[in-house]
Amino acid sequence: MNLFSLSWRYLWSRPLATGLNLLLLTLGLATVAFVLIVQDQIDRAFERDLAGIDVVVGAKGSPMQLILAGVFHLDVPPGNIPLAEVQQLAQHPQVAQLIPLSLGDNLAGFRIVGTTVDYPAHYGATLAQGVLWQAPMEAVLGAQVAQQTGLRPGQAFVGAHGLGGGGGGAEHGDTPYTVTGLMAPCGCVLDRLVLTATESVWKVHDDMHATEDMDEADRAAIEADREVTLALIRYRTPLAAVSFPRFINDGTSMQAAAPALEITRLMSLVGVGTRVFQGLGVVLLGVAALSVFIALWSAVRERRADLAMLRMLGAPPWKVGGLLLCEALWLATLACVLGLLAAHGLVAVVGDMLMAGQSLAITGWQWVHTEVWVPVLALGVALLAAGLPALGAYRLDVLQLLNTR
């Protein structure tokens, strides 16, 4: 029998009050933990996908749309840009690397991206099976795509027109792709993409429009009109961030959008929602603290006699006060464990939902370093709520109990 086992017994001698307090504390902590986990994962997912991309060049339109479409593959792109201009940009002295992306088709809702091998190399992707594409109409599947479609190297598939989601696009039945490789999970945007050569995308759409009576002149005209959707650019020097976007926006028919800038803007919009959630968590914690305080306070009143008897039996005052503190500590520990489990479970459910919608990759089973605040918060609330009752128990007047009138 020690302080911990005894306080545990006292705690559960009032199962209803303890259950309610546990529920309130757990809800509050779970809400706070949920926000912390999701926020951190979204931040990190964005950071990972953004790494090394200084600017995105695409058709004129909303810059945020361009970033969401080009970097995170969450939105539709604003339009296409001429290949010739992109090739010129690649030669620009301030550009260290340029990766063209061509969008337009999907496989079971996953985007088929025409690009160069620089794109998977940029994210440090490795292959789990097979090899990268060597020729047009060969494709490599992201880990999540492979898992969901069950396709293996050597198998063929046809893309559907459009960027997926609706599933109503016409299938390009005449131009099937062959899978040459599967990528290992990278935890980045590549997991939910199908990668192929830029030429594949052209070929699929040429064939769609091609007719039997096309002559060389027509084909040359098509070559001259080649387009890509957008280009991801890494600067040669940070100074380029000052002049390069202006050069694009003012001097060409294209627009340049800086991902870091747009994401900051996006986060400040999403941040309102996060703050509401956090506020809710704090309110719940406040109510929980009050409830725990009331429960412990009434426990001191109810058990004043028991506590005084402990003093009669020779217990020093700190032991009597410690008994109440310990009860609160038990509550905090239990609520902390339950709250974290609930938060992670909820994130996992939300993550699965997002995954099914081919959106952000969020996993519930990852420890986020900001979560250390949850036990700290739990401890703080418990000590705050138990402080006064414990002091009351510490200063208990044993004499009153002897005066039984």
Partner 1 sequence: MIRTRGLCVVHPGGPRLAFADVTVAQGGRLLLRGASGSGKSTWLALAAGLLTPAAGDLVVADQALDQLAPPARDAWRARCIGFLPQRLHLSDALTVADNLALAYFAAGQAVDRDAIQRTLTALGLRDVAARRPSQLSGGQAQRVALARALLRRPLVILADEPTASLDDGAAAQALALLQDSSRDCGATLVIATHDARVMQALPQAQVLALPVAPGREPVGRRA
Bridge partners of 105, per DSSP, are: 112, 161
Minimal distance in Å, beta carbon 397 to partner 1? Answer: 7
Binding mask 381-400 for partner 1 (x = CB under 8 A): ----------------xxx-
Contact between 405 and partner 1 by CB under 8 A: the answer reads yes
Contact between 15 and partner 1 by CB under 8 A: the answer reads no
Minimal distance in Å, beta carbon 290 to partner 1? Answer: 24
Q: Of 60, 311, 373, 380, which lies in the binding site for partner 1, with binding defined by CB under 8 A? A: 311
Nearest one of 223, 261, 355, 284 to 63, comparing CA atoms: 261
Contact between 9 and partner 1 by CB under 8 A: the answer reads yes
402/52 Cα distance (integer angstroms): 76
Q: Of 91, 211, 268, 404, which lies in the binding site for partner 1, with binding defined by CB under 8 A? A: 404
Q: How far apart, in Å, do the first and last CA atoms of the chain sit?
A: 33
Closer CB to partner 1, residue 9 or residue 219? 9
Structure tokens at 262: 């747009």
29/280 Cα distance (integer angstroms): 10
Minimal distance in Å, beta carbon 400 to partner 1? Answer: 10
Minimal distance in Å, beta carbon 378 to partner 1? Answer: 24
**Range in contact with partner 1 (rule: CB under 8 A) among 139-147, 286-294, 309-317, 356-364:** 309-317
CA atoms within 13 A on the CB side of 37: 27
Closer CB to partner 1, residue 76 or residue 401? 401
Closer CB to partner 1, residue 71 or residue 307? 307
Tell me which residue has tokens 């969020």: 362
List the interface residues with partner 1, window 236-265 (CB under 8 A): none
**Range in contact with partner 1 (rule: CB under 8 A) among 108-116, 149-157, 247-255, 314-322:** 314-322
Q: Of 149, 306, 341, 350, which lies in the binding site for partner 1, with binding defined by CB under 8 A? A: 306
Which sign does the torsion angle of CA 300, 306, 310, 311 carry? positive
Three-state secondary structure call for residue 198: helix
403/67 Cα distance (integer angstroms): 78
Residues contacting 173, CB < 8 A, separation 6+? 158
Structure tokens at 158: 């046809």
Residue 96 main-chain phi, psi, to 5 deg: -85, -45
Contact between 269 and partner 1 by CB under 8 A: the answer reads no
Three-state secondary structure call for residue 72: coil
Nearest one of 359, 357, 362 to 166, comparing CA atoms: 357
Contact between 217 and partner 1 by CB under 8 A: the answer reads no
Minimal distance in Å, beta carbon 392 to partner 1? Answer: 15
Contact between 301 and partner 1 by CB under 8 A: the answer reads no
Contact between 309 and partner 1 by CB under 8 A: the answer reads yes
Contact between 369 and partner 1 by CB under 8 A: the answer reads no
Q: Of 305, 353, 372, 376, which lies in the binding site for partner 1, with binding defined by CB under 8 A? A: 305
Residue 74 main-chain phi, psi, to 5 deg: -110, -25
Tell me which residue has tokens 């940070």: 238
Which residues lie near partner 1 (CB under 8 A)?
1-2, 6, 9-10, 13, 303, 305-306, 308-316, 319, 397-399, 401-405
